[in-house]
Amino acid sequence: MPPIFRTHGLVLTEHTFEVPLDHAAPDGPTISVFAREVADPDGRDRPFLVFLQGGPGQEAPRPTRNPSSPGWLERALREFRVLMLDQRGTGLSTPVGTLPGMTPQQQAEYLTHFRADSIVADAELIRAALGVERWSLLGQSFGGFTSLTYLSKAPHGLREAFFTGGLSPISRHPDEIYAATFERVLERNRRYFERYPADLRRVRDLVARLDAEDVRLPGGDRLTSRRLRQLGSVLGQSEGAEHLHYLLERPFDSPAFLHDVEAMAPFNGRNPIYVVLHESSYADGHATRWSAERVLPAEYEQRPELLTGEHVFPWLLDDFRELAPLREAAQLLAEHEWPRLYDDDVLAHNGVPTSAAVYLDDIYVEHRFSMETAAQVRGLRPWVTNEYEHNGLRADGGRILDRLISMARGRA
Q: What is the pLDDT of residues 313-322, one digit of tens each?
A: 999 999 999 9
Q: For residues 401 and 40, what is the distance between their CA atoms, to the nearest angstrom?
A: 18
pLDDT of residue 270: 83
Average pLDDT over residues 203-228: 96
Tell me the residue type at 19: V
- Residue 23 confidence (pLDDT): 98
Q: What is the pLDDT of residue 269?
A: 77
Taking a C-beta distance cutoff of 8 angstroms, is the pair 166, 140 a contact?
Answer: yes
Work out whether the CA dihedral 93, 96, 101, 104 comes out positive or negative: positive
- State how far the Cα of 370 lies from the Cα of 133, in Å rounded to an integer: 29
Answer yes or no: is pLDDT of 117 > 90: yes
In a 10 Å sphere around its CB, with 0-12 CB exposed, 13-18 middle and 19+ buried, how is residue 252 labelled?
middle
Region 10-20: mean pLDDT is: 98
Alpha helix positions (H), 283-366:
291-294, 299-302, 316-319, 327-334, 344-348
pLDDT at residue 66 in the model: 79
List Cα–Cα distances, 63 to 32, 69, 81, 244, in angstroms. 21, 5, 12, 27
Mean pLDDT of 78-93: 97
Specify the pLDDT at position 27.
96
- 252 CB-near residues (< 8 Å, 6+ apart): 206, 209
Stretch among 66-75, 296-305, 314-323 having the lowest mean pLDDT: 66-75
Neighbour-count burial of 345, counting CB atoms closer than 10 A to its CB (0-12 exposed, 13-18 middle, 19+ buried)? exposed
Average pLDDT of the residues in 195-215 = 97
Confidence of residue 333 (pLDDT cuts 50, 70, 90): very high
Residue 130 has pLDDT above 80, yes or no: yes
SS3 394: helix
Q: What is the rounded CA–CA span in Å between residue 90 and residue 272?
A: 10
pTM, two decimals, is 0.96
Mean pLDDT, range 191-199, rounded to an integer: 97
Residue in 253, 109, 236, 133 with CA at minimum distance from that of residue 181: 236
Please give the Cα distance from 13 to 44 (Å, whole number). Answer: 10
CA angle 405, 408, 410 (to 5 degrees): 105
**Cα torsion angle, 259, 260, 264, 265, sign:** negative
Q: What is the pLDDT of residue 304?
A: 92
CA distance 411 to 404: 10
| DSSP tag of 95 | B
Asked if the model's pLDDT at residue 205 lies above 80, the reply is yes
Mean pLDDT of 370-395: 97
Name the H helices within 295-383. 299-302, 316-319, 327-334, 344-348, 367-376
For the chain, domain boundaries: 4-171+342-408, 174-334
Rounded distance between C-alpha atoms, residue 330 and residue 99, angstroms: 12
First to last CA, the chain: 41
How high is the pLDDT of residue 376? 98
Q: Residue 14 pLDDT > 80, yes or no?
A: yes
| Segment 152-169, tens digit of pLDDT | 999 999 999 999 999 999
Euclidean distance between CA atoms 190 and 183, whole angstroms: 11
| Strands of 380-385's sheet in order across | 4-7, 10-20, 30-39, 81-86, 48-52, 135-140, 158-164, 354-359, 380-385
CATH topology of domain 4-171+342-408: Rossmann fold (3.40.50)
What's the confidence (pLDDT) of residue 265? 86
Rounded to whole angstroms, how far apart are CA atoms 196 and 200?
Answer: 8
pLDDT one-digit tens code per residue, 247-299: 999 999 899 999 999 999 888 778 899 999 999 999 999 999 999 999 999 99
Q: Amino acid identity of 117?
A: D
Average confidence (pLDDT) over 118-136: 98
